[in-house]
Structure 1
């Protein structure tokens, strides 16, 4: 199947609970994997506007992640610190490694990257900088809770 990303809609929605939604303002995705009908892994062409970030810093218990910078300049923030990334550079995050990470666009121009991740069920996402945990549900959705297990509401 051939996919022209220019024909796909930009999606800027987030599953994060209200207190965290502003963190990803300025992020938009074209869901290439979904458009192709992929079932086992997702592929997104993601654009970060200047000053925006990809996600809250996080790591997955069961899902692998891979990123490839297509255009622009990004800063990868991990447990080891900050790492500048430019077009052609890649990073990978194996499942189960407690290496919280995210991308930040500190440049004056939009940056574009491919994000690829598998869709392994029963994944848990930990957010080391926040009182937040996400657990994947049986139907692919996410349940967000505080670290103590209390669900997030509009608090």
Structure 2
């Protein structure tokens, strides 16, 4: 067991500790060494996005809007979210998602998800496929045409 106070997260577990960019992420789960799931707090400045629009092949996710309001872009729909809203995104199913802060204040989200081996992340806006565990990135536009796995053709 490991205990860390959210007011005292070690710097190595915070992306952009000084919040110079448009997104700061506190890796709470990494700080306390969770294994089967991650727990992050994402702070998104007005006009910024939480991540690129993406979907996971295996990862289940849970979000709680802690502060502020914004838009959840999910499967090409835009849904207004605000403090207190809870969202679940089931594993697989190709559900693309992204939070956008269109408000005047910081949008802060608790982001919890499963850590899945061989999760494949797809970025539909860019037609990119990312195999996270292998750190491999592919552009769907460059796919080989007329290829088949059939050995007898």
TM-score normalised to structure 1 length: 0.80
2:80 aligns to what? 84
Aligned residue for 1:11? 15
Gaps of 5+ in 1: 14-24, 151-155
Taking only aligned residues, the RMSD between alpha carbons, in angstroms, comes to 2.0
In the alignment, which of 54, 68, 84 is matched to residue 58 of structure 1?
54
Aligned to 1:16: none
Decide which of 48, 52, 63 is 1:67's aligned counterpart. 63
SS in 1 for 2:116: coil
Report how far residue 149 of structure 1 moved: 6.2
Does residue 23 of structure 2 align to residue 40 of structure 1? no
Which whole-Å CA distance do the structure 2 matches of 1:81 and 1:65 have between them? 18
Partner Cα distance (2:33, 2:129) in 1: 28
Alpha carbons of structure 1 residues 85 and 39: separation in structure 2 relative to 1, 3 Å: same
The aligned counterpart of 1:124 is 120
Secondary structure class of the residue paired with 1:145 = strand
Distance 1:94 1:52 in 2: 25
- Aligned residue number for residue 26 of structure 1: 22
CA distance in 1, matches of 2:71, 2:59: 22
Counterpart of 2:7 in 1: which secondary structure?
Answer: helix
Structure 2 runs not aligned, ≥5 long: 145-153
How many residue pairs get matched?
A: 136
Distance 1:53 1:135 in 2: 22
CA distance in structure 2 between the partners assigned to 1:88 and 1:149 by the alignment: 42
